[in-house]
Every structure is written in C-alpha cells, then in structure tokens.
Amino acid sequence: MRALTDVVSFAPASPEEILRPPQPWFVLLTLLAALVANMAPASGVFMALRPDFLAVVLLYWCIQAPRYVGVGTAWFVGLVMDVADATLFGQHALAYAVLAFAADYFRRRVLRFPLWQQAVQVAVLLVATAGLVLVVRFIGGAPMPRWTYAAPPIVGALLWPLLSVLLQRPQRPRRRGDR
C-alpha cells in the first residue's frame, strides 16, 4: 500500500533531495522509448505539435546523469534519429551534441529552480537547437519551413515538468520505513 501511495504522489524532488544514480538500463530504456515515440505515425496538428521526445529525454539525462550521457552519447543517438527520420546524416547528431554540451554547461544551475522555471530554461535550449538545425538546412539549400516549426520545442519544454517527475521516480531515495 505504501508503494502505491509513493507512486501516486507526483511531487517533484526538491533541490536538496539527493537522488540515487540511475540504472544504466533505465537510461537506455527511456532513450529507446523516446526514439519510438518520435517514430510514431502522426498527421495534421499532432504532426505539427509533436515535440522531439528524444531531445527532452537526452537533456534530462545530460543534466541528471552526466556520467552516463554526454556529448558522445547524444551524438550517437542523433545519428540513429537521422536514420529513422531519413533526414540529412549528421543533422540531429550535431544538434543533440550541442544540446548535450549546453546541458553540461547549465547543469548545476538549472536544478536549483522550481520545475516550471526549469521548463523556461529548457525551452531556450530546445529553441536554440531547433535554430541550429534551421541554419544547417538553410546552408544545405532547404526552403523556409512553416511557422509551426517553432511549436515542437515549446511543446517539448512544456513536457519537461512531467518527464522530470516520471524519470526521477526510480532515483528517489527510499524512506526510512521502506524495506
């Protein structure tokens, strides 16, 4: 019963709470799930609004578990995304590598803020990454995308609080009464 109430309580961890290191398989699983979510078929409005789940999850692990997920991992995951999307080889890889670097730079500061303020900072990072992709594609001769191009990073940032709470669940320290 205790475990159930534990799961149901969705309060985010306070900055003072020390989280245990995540299990590597959990990190891998969440990245895989995000990749699958990215590949899910969509059309119309959903297509235009669909955030880059992989970028948000990567960002989370770059901030929370920098020893497991860094620039190199992000780059490789980006390559996989390039294949899945049939975009230019190296486009997502470059974007994710820059995102991981920025995350490493801001890591210690971001976590001091409440979740919604973290989301604002995440929005800035995601928009900057989308801008980088835009520049890369422009150089490659692509046309200007529609204005909806700006939507996915914003939606991704709005997802940040929810994803943070979900992803940090297994790392929350057990209370004294457990086990």
Does 40 sit near another protein (CB under 8 A)? yes
Does 43 sit near another protein (CB under 8 A)? yes
Does 88 sit near another protein (CB under 8 A)? yes
Does 145 sit near another protein (CB under 8 A)? yes
Structure tokens that stand for 64 in this block: 């929370």
Does 118 sit near another protein (CB under 8 A)? no
As measured in angstroms, the least distance from the Cβ of 134 to another protein is: 9
| CB crowding 42-72: b at 16 or more within 10 Å, else e | eeeeeeeebbbbbbbbbbbbbbbbeebbbbe
Does 101 sit near another protein (CB under 8 A)? yes
For the chain, how many residues are written?
179
As measured in angstroms, the least distance from the Cβ of 14 to another protein is: 23
Sign of CA dihedral 107, 108, 113, 114: positive
Nearer to another protein, 104 or 168 (CB): 104
Amino acid at 55: A
Structure tokens that stand for 51 in this block: 């955030």
d(CA 16, CA 30): 25
DSSP conformational letter for 41: -
Residues that bind another protein (CB under 8 A): 21, 35-36, 38-43, 47, 50, 67, 70-72, 75, 78-80, 83-91, 93-94, 97-98, 100-101, 104-105, 136-137, 140-146, 148-149, 179
